[in-house]
Amino acid sequence: MAMAIRAFLMFVLFLFSTQFCFSLYEDQVGLMDWHQQYLGKVKHAVFHTQKTGRKRVLVSTEENVVASLDLRHGEIFWRQILGTNDIVDGLDIALGKYVITLSSDGSMLRAWNLPDGQMVWESSLQGSKLSKSILNVPKNLKADKDDLILVFGQGCLHAVSSIDGEVLWKKDFSGQSIEVQQITHSPHNDLIYVAGYVGSSKFYVYQINAKNGELLKDNTAALPSGTYGELLSVSSDMFVTLDDTRSKILLINLKNGEINYNDNHISDLIKDTSGQGVILPSRLPGIFALNLDSLGILIKVTNEGGLVLVEKINNAAALSDAVSISDGQHAFAFVQHEENKIHLTVKDVHNWNSDLLKERIVIDHQRGNVEKIFINNYVRTDRSNGFRALIAMEDHSLLLVQQGEIVWSREDGLASVVDVTTSDLPVEKEGVSVAKVEQNLFEWLKGHILKLKGTLMIASPGDVAAIQAMRLRSSEKSKMTRDHNGFRKLLIVLTRAGKVFALHTGDGRIVWSVLLRTLRKSEACERPIGLNIYQWQDPHHHALDENPSVFVVGRCGPSLAAPAVLSFIDAYTGRELNSLSLAHTVAQVMPLPYTDSTEQRLHLIIDVNQQAYLYPKTPEAIHILQHEFANVYWYSVDADNGIIRGHALNSRCNGEVVDEYCFDLRDLWSIVFPSESERILATMTRKSNEVVHTQAKVMTNQDVMYKYISKNLLFVANVAPKAIGEIGTATPEESWLVIYIIDTVTGRILHRMTHHGCQGPVQAVFSENWVVYHYFNLRAHRYEMSVVEVYDQSRADNKDVWKLVLGKHNLTSPFSSYSRPEVITKSQSYYFTHSVKAIEVTSTAKGITSKQLLIGTIGDQVLALDKRFLDPRRTLNPSQAEKEEGIIPLTDSLPIIAQSYITHSLKVEGLRGIVTVPAKLESTSLVFAYGVDLFFTRIAPSRTYDSLTEDFSYALLLITIVALVAAIFVTWVLSERKDLQEKWR
């Protein structure tokens, strides 16, 4: 009996030990993390809806993504992400089976296999002059016929084979002053027309033999005036453009190889107009579109070279290219806005009396206006023509519309996240908790049997899928209330389109989204740009009564001189509480560590004129700032001139208009780096909300060192002027990297170190008293990572335990940057085999848990590296005491362990940034990585030492306790019976 009990206890111990292992099982993927794939704002789209094969649409985006989407559901069939500088200039389909892309200013031509997206061939097109990029692919569906792909880029015209990408011939225009605008290919006579300008008043056209590239003829004509905008082709030998006053339409005809032109006043075609026109780039046979005072004008070009007004379209938002629906018949679409609806109209290019399609679609007003539309036709069951439209919206979302309904939509604006902040969810009030669904006994038993099979690792693939689905259903991670561990939060992200999304950390769903009015294009703000998003109000004492809020800072243009705009948003509902168009600019936003009675956080916005503006503009905020006036310091970096300055508040502004919330600045110090030897490459500072658990760090032999903890430290990385470019542009002798650690209150340089033969790019992270930075070593031809730790020597004599007990230490004495404390540094460098896109460090609620570096690699994955590997005290042969302290033996390179990738086998394509947020549970940190894709997970650098795992089986624990109690009771009864029998003997 005792042996049976011991065996049972060993079995139970084995079951519970498996719950705490560090590995991630296949069925656990998706429980603590989520991954979302996006594309970005669509620039080009081509439909492929042949009778054979799956119906799809090919798109290219501003994030340099080429993708194939399922027309039924909008899912991604395949996707290729090009490089950051490999911008897609053109997209088309060749031979009915290849997707052709032109990128990198017309220098890279690629063919991708249509079904799976594998690259078939790639051609590098050489040239010596920056020019417009033009892609001309023949409309041929016969896979056995090799047609010419015409590419103009880098000042050269290339004829490329569509089968293998071989350059058949090349015509160089770089030695001539012509600015090529259009290339047309006439398949009837195998002639290519290359048209463009010399200056703004001379028109050139070259006639080239398509078979061998021979120049047959070149003509020039002096135009009556200069031109505005680009040249538009309305047929193979006819072009239109506007004159420099934008009041005349110039029609250029190339009949018989001769250049003929005539000009027509816009006012002669459209009466009662006085505005300036803009020719839209839509390609319609024999027709072009003109935008005039928000009015869409369609003008037909007759065979005799005349212009005829066809139609006026009010509130025209977008116009599609023409699509062929039968021999000689073409259709196109245009969109008109009406409040929260759009009107989609499809017309025959040559027949304006009737509409091929007219639909009204209801669209969420938070998507903004329609920016682009692409149409495709199909044959209905009654043999009539039907149409579907792919619509790109102002917020970068993508919609497919068919039969008056939105078939599917994609929120591809999330591919261009600019900044991220977080917000806690509402407190769960009494009586509003989500009720749990009761399960019958059979389902309960089935669920626990599946869990037991998963624990014993005997579950089949079907069982694994069932376990995962069951866990997702029963998980509370997607509730819209706070949890006691702090895992459930809102990720509030600002996108490049000026739209703000709130994502739930539980499953990544969009809780709300709002397209900000201040960041929409208007007459007052022509080129709005969203800069950053900050926490504005985070109520702790009034969490049940008030909602938190955030605010977005933007400007009306890319220049620093553009005026600033602000938007304040409710973090729970997405409602825009207020918006401001500011009279001043924004160069820097500084959140202050002070809040008012409503728990609104104070911020200073510094403009380009070195004046600071306080927000919120309330008397209470002024009173708080005046009380802390002498404690407000900040710095500014002028990388172009190599200057770093320290600032403080001086007095109220002395302008014509008195503004009590405006303050002048005074310069405290400045550091000027010599331009002939150093250029500022990167800067980094600590997070303002980082928590440090202890200042003391216990070394070997009970020695104690004290971290130099200051939120005013700045890390600066400078490089030699010749090493400012890409890797390999300078020799090791010409390259050096100089790093500084500077106190931004006094301008004191605490540490300086030079890495000879090294250059950028530099990625760095600053935490507590240490900084880790990544760079390239030209001499070793490898990447390196270095660590610098800063310690405070002024507190180094606090090692006597009795002094600490009796309070005779100086640990509680006021800390000031002006006290000029003695500091010492420890540093070490290691090789690292990967290029790095971003570095972040885990953050926890109390700062007790050990740190991990989160490294965004060139492979668009996130690697978790223990900070102990970057300990500057590592030695080749650590002593026993150092081993007990946890110091790892020194190696020349940092290890990359496959199991340390927190993204598992997934990729965050186009990775740009990593954000870490502490949970309430000290062991856990929340991680959000963003790029073209989004990825969220939670990690425990020191394991989950303060909690049970989420899939801990409480039912199994209860069954085990009951079984143990029953076993004890049975054993006791048997033991009593045996004792009684012994006594009777």
Give the residue among 121, 97, 117, 96 at the shortest CA–CA distance from 109: 121
Q: How far apart are CA 88 and CA 605, in angstroms?
A: 37
- In whole numbers, what is the pLDDT of the chain averaged over residues? 84
Residue 473 has pLDDT above 60, yes or no: no
Residue 438 has pLDDT above 50, yes or no: no
C-beta of residue 564 within 8 angstroms of C-beta of residue 585: yes
pLDDT for 30 equals 62
C-beta of residue 434 within 8 angstroms of C-beta of residue 425: no
**Order of strands across the sheet with 76-81?**
42-48, 56-61, 65-70, 76-81
Domains of the chain by residue range: 39-176, 314-410, 433-478, 587-672, 680-832, 953-985
In the predicted model, what is the mean pLDDT of residues 739-746? 93
pLDDT for 951 equals 64
Q: Which of the residue ranges 251-255, 722-726, 832-836, 953-957 has the most confident prediction, judged by mean pLDDT?
A: 832-836
Residue 472's pLDDT band (cuts 50, 70, 90)? low
pLDDT for 609 equals 87
Q: State the residue for tokens 């008195």.
A: 658
Looking at the chain, the whole-number percentage of residues with pLDDT higher than 90 is 38
Residue 603's pLDDT band (cuts 50, 70, 90)? very high
What the block records as the tokens of 474 is 């029963």
- Residue-wise pLDDT for 88-134, tens only, equals 999 999 988 899 999 998 899 999 999 999 999 999 998 878 888 99
Q: State the residue for tokens 């062929």.
A: 324
Residue 25 has pLDDT above 60, yes or no: no
What the block records as the tokens of 150 is 């015409």
DSSP class of residue 971 equals H
Work out the angle at residue 676's Cα, subtended by the Cα atoms of residues 675 and 680, and round it to the nearest 5 degrees. 40
Sign of the CA dihedral 178, 180, 181, 184? Answer: positive
User: How far from each other are the two terminal CA atoms of the chain, in whole angstroms?
Assistant: 22
Question: Phi, psi at residue 605, to the nearest 5°?
Answer: -105, 120
Sign of the CA dihedral 411, 417, 419, 421? Answer: positive
Residue 433's pLDDT band (cuts 50, 70, 90)? very low
Question: Phi, psi at residue 319, to the nearest 5°?
Answer: -130, 135
C-beta of residue 244 within 8 angstroms of C-beta of residue 259: no
Give the residue among 434, 527, 419 at the shortest CA–CA distance from 482: 434
pLDDT for 18 equals 41
Of the ranges 72-81, 560-569, 626-635, 808-817, which one carries the lowest mean pLDDT score? 808-817
3-state secondary structure of 182: strand
Q: How far apart are CA 290 and CA 248, in angstroms?
A: 11
Q: How far apart are CA 423 and CA 687, in angstroms?
A: 17
Of the ranges 55-64, 172-181, 762-771, which one carries the lowest mean pLDDT score? 172-181
pLDDT for 29 equals 60
Q: What is the 3-state secondary structure of 126-162? A: CCCCCCCCEEECCCCCCCCCCCEEEEEECCEEEEEEC
pLDDT for 807 equals 55
- Residue-wise pLDDT for 811-831, tens only, equals 555 566 667 778 889 999 999
Looking at the chain, the whole-number percentage of residues with pLDDT higher than 70 is 88
Residue 543 has pLDDT above 70, yes or no: no
pLDDT for 19 equals 40
Residue 22 has pLDDT above 50, yes or no: no
3-state secondary structure of 17: helix
Residue 5 has pLDDT above 70, yes or no: no
Question: Phi, psi at residue 516, to the nearest 5°?
Answer: -70, 135
In the predicted model, what is the mean pLDDT of residues 562-577? 92
Q: State the residue for tokens 């209330």.
A: 481
Which comes out higher in pLDDT, residue 952 or 893?
Answer: 893
Q: What is the 3-state secondary structure of 610-668? A: CEEEEECCCHHHHHHHHHCHHHCEEEEEECCCCEEEEEEEEEECCCCCCCCCEEEEEEE
Q: How far apart are CA 44 and CA 99, in angstroms?
A: 12
Sign of the CA dihedral 86, 90, 95, 98? Answer: positive
In the predicted model, what is the mean pLDDT of residues 636-643? 92
Q: How far out from the chain centre does Cα 214 lie?
A: 47
What the block records as the tokens of 624 is 């708080």
Residue 927's pLDDT band (cuts 50, 70, 90)? very high
pLDDT for 443 equals 66
Q: What is the 3-state secondary structure of 831-851? A: EECCCEEEEEECCCCCCCCCC
Q: Beta strands 563-570 and 549-555: pairing type?
A: antiparallel
User: What is the per-residue DSSP string for 378-407?
Assistant: EE-TTS-EEEEEEEEETTS-EEEEETTEEE
* β strands within 730-861, DSSP E: 736-743, 749-756, 758-767, 770-777, 782-792, 823-832, 836-841, 852-857
Give the residue among 102, 143, 96, 98 at the shortest CA–CA distance from 119: 98
Residue 635 has pLDDT above 90, yes or no: yes
pLDDT for 28 equals 56
Cβ atoms within 10 Å, residue 431? 5
- Full-model pTM: 0.87
pLDDT for 459 equals 76
Give the residue among 862, 886, 863 at the shortest CA–CA distance from 874: 886
pLDDT for 442 equals 63
pLDDT for 47 equals 93
Q: How far apart are CA 767 and CA 691, in angstroms?
A: 10
- Residue-wise pLDDT for 241-267, tens only, equals 888 888 888 888 877 667 888 888 887
pLDDT for 176 equals 77
DSSP class of residue 368 equals -
User: What is the per-residue DSSP string for 910-923?
Assistant: T--EEEEEE-SSTT
Domain 39-176 has CATH 3.30.200.20: no
What the block records as the tokens of 161 is 């084979």
Q: State the residue for tokens 């207020």.
A: 578
C-beta of residue 884 within 8 angstroms of C-beta of residue 809: no
User: What is the per-residue DSSP string for 252-302?
Assistant: EE-GGG--EEEEEEHHHHSSS--S-EEE----BTTEEEEEETTEEEEEEEP
